[in-house]
Structure 1
Amino acid sequence: MAKIIYTHTDEAPLLATYSFLPIVEAYARTAGVGVETRDISLAGRIIALFPERLTAEQRIDDALAELGQLATTPEANIIKLPNISASIPQLKAAIAELQGQGYDLPAYPENPQSDDEKATRATYDKVKGSAVNPVLREGNSDRRAPASVKNYAKQHPHSMGAWSAESKTNVATMGHDDFRTNERSVVLEADDTLRIEHVTADGTVTVLKESIPVLAGEVVDGTFMNVAALDTFLAEQVQRAKDEGVLFSVHLKATMMKVSDPIIFGHVVKVFFPVVFEQYGDQLAAAGISANDGLGAVLSAVDALPDGAAIRSAIERGIADGPALAMVDSDKGITNLHVPSDVIVDASMPAMIRSSGHMWNAAGEEQDTLAVIPDSSYASVYQTVLDDCRANGAFDPATMGSVPNVGLMAKAAEEYGSHDKTFEIAEAGAVRVVNAAGDVLIEHQVGAGDIWRACQTKDEPIRDWVKLAVTRARASGVPAIFWLDETRAHDANLIAKVEKYLPEYDAALGGGDLTIEIMNPADATAYSLERIRKGEDTISVTGNVLRDYNTDLFPILELGTSAKMLSIVPLMNGGGLFETGAGGSAPKHVQQLVKENYLRWDSLGEFFALAASFEHLGDSTDNPRARILADTLDRATGTFLAENRSPGRKLGTIDNRGSHFYLALYWAEELAKQTEDAALGEAFAALAARLREDEQTIVDELLAVQGSPVDLGGYFRPDPAKASAVMRPSTTLNEALEGLDV
C-alpha cells in the first residue's frame, strides 16, 4: 500500500494534528493510501536517546533517523510539520517534564566535568537547535505562496503600520571581525577527510573535530567571530540606542544557531549589565547561572544566592540607566534580553517592519528601534527594507507582488547551526582545517572566547539548486535572482559554480529571455522591492540561512504570516518532503488552549502540504484517486479561504478544530462533484450531505467546550488520550468520519 508519513512534532502543530489527522486518514483510505505517523517531537527525540535507562514500555524508536534514511529513497512521501528548534532553556524544560512523567533521564549538564557528564552533554547536543531539518532535507527548497492565498491576501489585506520618513529605526551590524568578514572558503579538488584542530602558542594541538569526510567539488568554509570586537560593538550600540532615544533590541537565531547564537546572546546580556557581571559574575557562574540562557534565567535564580538582593538591585539599576529595552511582553515585564529563543531574527524583523518599524516599550507603546544584528552576512537585507519603507511608505498587500524562494539546503548545505563544527575557543592560538595529507586548507588566529565555525556544501546539491531555480523560473515566467555576494568568500565559490552550471541547465530546459542573474543580497533586496511595489514577482534563489530569512520576511509582508506558504522539497532521489510552511510551533497558542480551550493555530499550511503530497503520490504510483484527492483538496482550500474559515482570534468563533470541520465539509463536497470516479463521488456525496445537514450541531459541539481550562497531561509530551479528547470534542463529526467507506 502506498503511504504518507505524517510527523508528530510539537506545541500547536502537534495539537492540531490530533484534530486533523483523523480526517486525513479517513479520506486517504478511500484511495488506498495509508497514513502513518512518526514522532519527531523534541520530547520524542529526547526519549529515543536513552533507551538503556527506560522501561520497555517507555522506549521509542529513533523516528528521525528512520525518516532520514527514507528521505534518500524514491518512495519517500513525508509531511513535516513545524517542530521546536530547541534552545537550552527549552531542552531543560522538556527534560524536567519527562522526568516528572516517570522517564529516568539524566539532567542536562550545564558545565560537564566527568566523562559521564560530557557524554550526556554530547548526547543531548544531538537534539539542540534545528536538529530535524538537516536530517530530512535530502533536497532543495521550493517555497511560494499558493495563488489562492495570494488572491485572498489581495482581497482581504492585512494591517500594515504607516511609515514616517523621520523614522529612526535602523539595523546595527559589525561589518568587521565577524563571521562574514573573517570567512575563508575552499573547494575540494578530490575526495578527502578533513580535521579541525586548535594550536596554542606553545604548539599544543587539540583536535576539535577528528574526521570530516568531504567529496570532490565540495565547498568548505571556516570563519570566526572576534568576541572582543563583538563586546566593543555591543557597548557602542547600547550607547547609540540611548543617545538616539530608541529601543535597544538584539535579533539572533539561538534556536537554529544552537552553539554560536546563545553565546552571542550571552555577550549582549553581559554588555548591557556590565556592573552585574563585573561584580557578581563569578558568583553567578559558580551557581551554574549563564548569561547565555538570558536575563530571565538570571532573575529566576538570583534569590537563592547570598548576594541575590544586591544582584537583583544591580539589574534594576542597569535597566534604569541603559537605553529603553524592546519588550517581548510589556505586561509581564519580559524584555528582549530575557530568553534567547524569544526573539528570532527571521520572524522578529519582518514583524517590526510591518509595525511601522516599531517594537513595544515597557509602557506597552510602539517606539522606533535599533535592531542589533551582530553578524553582517545578511543584515543589509533588513536595512534595505527599512530604508525603502522610509522612502516609499508601507507596502500594500492588496497590490504588492510576491517573492517565492528556491533555497539551497540539501544534504545539510550551509548548515551553520545544527552541526558539530562550531566551537567556543578556550585559549588563544590558531584554528586550522587540515586535510588527510596534513596540508592546512584554512587557518585563523583566534583569541580566548572567540566563536569559530565551519560548514560544508556539497557539489551535487548546488547543481540541483541551480536546476530547480531555472525550472521554477521557466515554469512561472518570473525572473530569478541568485542572492550571492562576490566579496564574501563562500559566495564567491558558489558564484563560480552557478556561472558554470546555469548555462547548462538553462539550455537543457529551453532557455529564453527571462532574467536569471546574480546580485549581492542588498541589491537583490532593492531589486525585488522595486518589483513588489509594481505588483511584480521575483524568485529569490538563496543559500540555506537566507532561505530561512526570506521565507519569513516576504510572506509576512505579503500575507501577514509565513505559515501559509506552500513548501515543497523535491528530494534528489525522487521522493517528496512536504513542509507545512514556516511560522514556528506557536507556544502562545498552546498557552491559550490550556487556559481557554481555544486553539488559534491555522492549519492552512497542512492543507497545502497534504494536497502536494497526494499529487506526488498519485503521479509516482499512478494512483488516480490520489490525484483526485489532491485536485479536490486544492479547490476545497480555495473555498475555505473564500468563506473565511480560518480560526478566529477570540472565544466564540471557530478555532482550529472548527476550521478542520469546514475543510472536511468543502473537501467532501468537491469530491462529490468530481466526475472522474463515480464510486468515490457517491461515497463522498453521502458524507457531504451528512456534514452539511449536521453543520450547526457540529459547530455547536465545537464551540461548547470553549472558555474553560484543559489538562493535556504535558506540554512537550501531551497524553495522547487527553489531547485527542480535547481536540475532537464533536461526537457528530467523529461518527461521520468513521462511517466513510468506499
Structure 2
Amino acid sequence: MADTSTPDIIYTKVDEAPELASASLLPIIQSFATAADITVGTRDISLAGRILATFPDHLTEDQRVSDDLAALGELVKQPGANVIKLPNISASVPQLVAAVRELQGQGYAIPDYPETPETDAEKEVRARYDAIKGSAVNPVLREGNSDRRAAAPVKKYAQNNPHRMGDWSSDSKTRVASMDAGDFFSNEKSATLDGAATAKIVLEGANGETVLKEGVSYPAGTVVDATYMSASALDAFLAEEIKKTKEEGVLFSLHLKATMMKVSDPIIFGHAVKEWLKPVFDKYGDRMKELGVNPASGLGDLLERVKDDAEIMAAIEDCRAARPPMYMVDSDRGITNLHVPSDVIIDASMPALIRSGGKGWGPDNKEHDAVCIIPDSSYAPVYDESIKFFKANGKLDPATAGTVQNLGLMAQKAEEYGSHPTTFEIPEDGTVKMILEDGTVLHSHEVKKGDIWRSASARKAPIEDWVNLAIERQKATGYRAIFWLDETRAHDAELISFVKPILEAKGVADKFEIMAPREATRASLETITKGENTIAITGNVLRDYLTDLFPILELATSAKMLSIVKLMNGGGLFETGAGGSAPKHVQQLQAENHLRWDSLGEFCALGESFKFLGETKDNARARILGETIEEATQGILDHNRSPSRKVGEPDNRDSHYWFARYWAEALAAQTDDPKLAEEFAPMAKALAENEDQIVAELAAAQGSPADTGGYYHPDAGRLATVMRPSPTLNGIIGK
C-alpha cells in the first residue's frame, strides 16, 4: 500500500516519457527540497496504477495499491494542496487492453477487458474499466480554472532562437471540412437552472421508456447542455469528403480526440473506418463481426483480425486503391491516420500540420496538402480560420510574434463533453429527454438508432471564478483580452449571460471583447503577428485546443507551457505543459537508450510550486528554491542544454545534470539566505568539477536497448538503473 501521509508537494507518478524522466529528475528535486524542510512525495495516477486500484478484489494483499486518484481528488479541495501534475495517458481501448495484458503478464490476476460484455459479471467488469478510460484523471484533479501561458524565459528563448516553420502557399489545397448540419453544434440546447435540481435522462421509443442515466444532480445556477450528432448525417458527410478528397488529389485525414472524448469520438472514429471501407463492410460485415472486428478500435485492429482471410484482405486492398491517399502517422511502418484512435489527437495533430505549412505525410513518405476532417463544427472554425489566415499572410515569424495566453473554464468538470458519463450511442429510434425531478422536461431531441447524444454542464461558481480570473490577468498584463464565445451557440449564449454582468459590475467591460471562435482566431493571429499579446478566455475544450495551437506556433512545442490551476479552495495544481505522454520517446529509449523528452515543463511547474509553498507556508527557503529554479531554467535555455533528438547526443538525463548544476550554482550565489548559499556551495563545486566524468557516464549509457521491465508498469529498480546511469552524479546528489 502507498504512503498515507501527505507530503508538502505531491509529484504525480504517470506514464510513458514523463514517468521515465521522473526517475531521473525526482531524486534531484527531493534532495534539494530537504534544505527547506520540504517533503516531496508521489501519488500514482498512471494508467497501470488506476487499473490496479480498480480491482483490489482480484489481487493478493501485497499487490494491492491505494486509490491515489480518489485521494488526490479530495486533497485538491483542501486549502493547502500543492500538486505537480505531469501528463498521463488518457486511455483509448487499445491502450487499456495493452496495459491489462502487460499487468497480467507480470502476475496480476486482473480480468480481461470485455469488449462485448454479455453476463452481469462481464458488464460489471466493463463498467469498472470504462471509468478508467479517456480523460479520467483531469476532471477529478482540476478543482480550479486554468491559467496557461509561455513562461517568460521560454518565450524569450523562442524569439532569440526561432524554430523552423513550414512555408505557406496561397494556392495550398489544404482545408478543413466539417458538417454544416446534424452535428453537435447545430443540435445543441442549453439552459441555466434557477435552483438545484436532479435529472434523469430517458429514451422514449417504440418499446417504451429506457432510462439512460438517473440521479444526475446540479446545484443552482448550473448551465446544462444537451445535443446529438446524427449518424446518418455523419456517414453522408464522410462519404462526400472521401469522394472530394480523391478528386482534389490530396491526403485524407481525420482529426478527433478519442482520448478526452472517450465515448463520442471513438464512435465517430469507427464511422470513419467503416465509411472508408464501406464496400468491404457491405459485403463482408457479418463475417468480420464474427472475427471480432469493431471499427471503433481502428484499422490496425481490424487488419490484425482479418489477416488470415484472403478474400477480405483482397477486398480491402481493392478498396484502398480506390480511395485517396491517407495522412500517415508512420509511413515507414504503414501506420495510417485510421489505424489507432489515440494516434491522431486533434489538439496536437492540427497545430503540427499548420506549423508545417499545411503539409502532412503521405504513404509515399513525402509531404502533401491534406483535407482535415473535423466532423463537429463547434471548434473546427478555429483551425479553418488559421489555415485561411496563413494562406493569405504567410507563416508566423516566431522571432517577432507576440503571445496568446489562455484562461480556461474547467473547474468541477465544466464542459466535459464526450468524456462525461452522460454520452450515449442511441440503441433505437425515439426521443431523448432530460427530465427534472419535478417533471420538467429540460431538453428533448428526436433521435435515430446510432446517433450520439451527449450532455455536459458548467457550474455557477467555476464560471464566476473564471471571469474574475480573467479580470485579474487582464489587469496584471494590460493585454488585449477576448472571451471566445459565440452568441449564436446555445451554450455560449448562456455563458455570456454570466460574463457581461460581472464585467459591468466590476467596471471593466471596456477592457474585454466577446467574439465567436472564428473571429477570435483571426483577431488573435493578427495581434501576435504585430508582436503584441492577447489573452484567450475560453471554455474547457478550447482551452485544450488553444494551449497546443498557439504554443506550437510560437515555441515549437506545447510541452514548455506554464500551466497553473488556482484551485478554488486555495490550493495550487501545477501542470507541466500540454505535451502529452510521448509514446515515440519511449520507443526510442527502449531501442537506443536515448530519451529526448524535454523536462522544461516540469522545471517551470516546479518553480511555481516552490514559490506557492513559500507563500502559503511562510517558508522563505521554499521561495528562494523557486526563484533559483527560474534561474536554472534560464541557464538550460541560454546554454542550449535541452535534450537532442538523436542517440549519441545529450538527452533528458544530461539536461537534468545541468539543471541540478545551475540550480545549485544559483543557490550558492544568492544572498537572501547566506547559510543556504553555504550549504549548496560544495554541491555546486562538485557538480562543476566532475562535469567531464558525469557527462561521460551519461553518454556511455546510450546506444543499446534499454529494459525498464515494462511499458505501462515499469519495474522501479530497472527504471532507476536506466535513468540514473551516472554513479558520480548520484553520489553528489545523494549527499
TM-score normalized by the length of structure 2: 0.98
Residue of structure 2 equivalent to 1:310:
311
Question: Retained in 2: the 8 A contact 1:2–1:621?
Answer: no
Question: Retained in 1: the 8 A contact 2:500–2:509?
Answer: no
Task: Give matches, 1:241-280, under 5 Å.
Answer: 241-280=245-284
Matched, 1:549 2:548: no
Matched, 1:667 2:667: no
SS in 2 for 1:140: strand
Pairs aligned (count): 730
Question: Retained in 1: the 8 A contact 2:147–2:563?
Answer: yes
Question: Retained in 1: the 8 A contact 2:418–2:454?
Answer: no
Task: Give matches, 1:490-501, under 5 Å.
Answer: 490-501=491-502
2:95 to 81, 90, 95: 90
| In 1: Cα distance, 2:573 partner to 2:335 partner | 37
Matched, 1:435 2:436: yes
| In 1: Cα distance, 2:83 partner to 2:504 partner | 32
Residue 2 of structure 1: how far off its partner (Å):
6.3
SS in 1 for 2:186: coil
Matched, 1:693 2:689: yes
SS in 2 for 1:13: helix
User: 1:633-672 deviations in whole A, cap 9, x for unaligned?
Assistant: 1111111100000001112211000000000000000000
In structure 2, what residue type is equivalent to 1:579?
A: E
Percent identity over the alignment is 59
1:136 to 124, 141, 147: 141
User: 1:723-742 deviations in whole A, cap 9, x for unaligned?
Assistant: 01100000001110111xxx
In structure 2, what residue type is equivalent to 1:325?
A: M
| In 1: Cα distance, 2:586 partner to 2:118 partner | 37
In structure 2, what residue type is equivalent to 1:470?
A: I
2:240 to 236, 239, 249: 236
In structure 2, what residue type is equivalent to 1:652?
A: G
Task: Give matches, 1:536-575, under 5 Å.
Answer: 536-575=532-571
Question: Retained in 1: the 8 A contact 2:7–2:41?
Answer: no
| In 2: Cα distance, 1:198 partner to 1:642 partner | 60
Question: Retained in 2: the 8 A contact 1:140–1:406?
Answer: yes
| In 2: Cα distance, 1:566 partner to 1:544 partner | 17
In structure 1, what residue type is equivalent to 2:233?
A: A
Unaligned runs of 5+ in 2: 1-5
User: 1:93-122 deviations in whole A, cap 9, x for unaligned?
Assistant: 000100101111111111111111111111
| In 2: Cα distance, 1:136 partner to 1:176 partner | 35
SS in 2 for 1:142: strand
User: 1:489-519 deviations in whole A, cap 9, x for unaligned?
Assistant: 0011001111122233x44xxx596x31210
User: 1:376-399 deviations in whole A, cap 9, x for unaligned?
Assistant: 000001010000110000111111
User: 1:15-48 deviations in whole A, cap 9, x for unaligned?
Assistant: 0000000000001111010011001000000000
1:49 to 18, 43, 54: 54
Residue 175 of structure 1: how far off its partner (Å):
2.0
Structure 1 segments of 4+ aligned residues over 6 angstroms from their partners? none
| In 2: Cα distance, 1:633 partner to 1:81 partner | 18
Matched, 1:581 2:577: yes
1:676 to 672, 676, 687: 672
Residue of structure 1 equivalent to 2:184:
179
| In 1: Cα distance, 2:466 partner to 2:720 partner | 40
Matched, 1:191 2:196: yes
Q: Which one is further off, 103-112 or 554-563? A: 103-112
Question: Retained in 2: the 8 A contact 1:2–1:32?
Answer: no
In structure 1, what residue type is equivalent to 2:488?
A: T
| In 1: Cα distance, 2:687 partner to 2:545 partner | 41
| In 1: Cα distance, 2:7 partner to 2:43 partner | 16
Residue of structure 2 equivalent to 1:350:
351
In structure 1, what residue type is equivalent to 2:647?
A: L
In structure 1, what residue type is equivalent to 2:377?
A: S
SS in 2 for 1:404: strand
| In 1: Cα distance, 2:379 partner to 2:332 partner | 32
In structure 1, what residue type is equivalent to 2:402?
A: G
Residue of structure 2 equivalent to 1:340:
341
Residue of structure 2 equivalent to 1:720:
716
Question: Retained in 2: the 8 A contact 1:111–1:288?
Answer: no
Residue 201 of structure 1: how far off its partner (Å):
3.1
| In 1: Cα distance, 2:179 partner to 2:296 partner | 20
| In 2: Cα distance, 1:345 partner to 1:212 partner | 30
Matched, 1:401 2:402: yes
Residue of structure 2 equivalent to 1:212:
216
Residue 303 of structure 1: how far off its partner (Å):
2.7
| Aligned CA-pair RMSD | 1.0
TM-score normalized by the length of structure 1: 0.98
Residue 282 of structure 1: how far off its partner (Å):
1.5
Residue of structure 1 equivalent to 2:609:
613
Q: Which one is further off, 318-327 or 372-381? A: 318-327
Residue of structure 1 equivalent to 2:490:
489
Residue of structure 1 equivalent to 2:3:
none
SS in 2 for 1:180: helix
Matched, 1:363 2:367: no
Unaligned runs of 5+ in 1: none
| In 2: Cα distance, 1:671 partner to 1:503 partner | 46
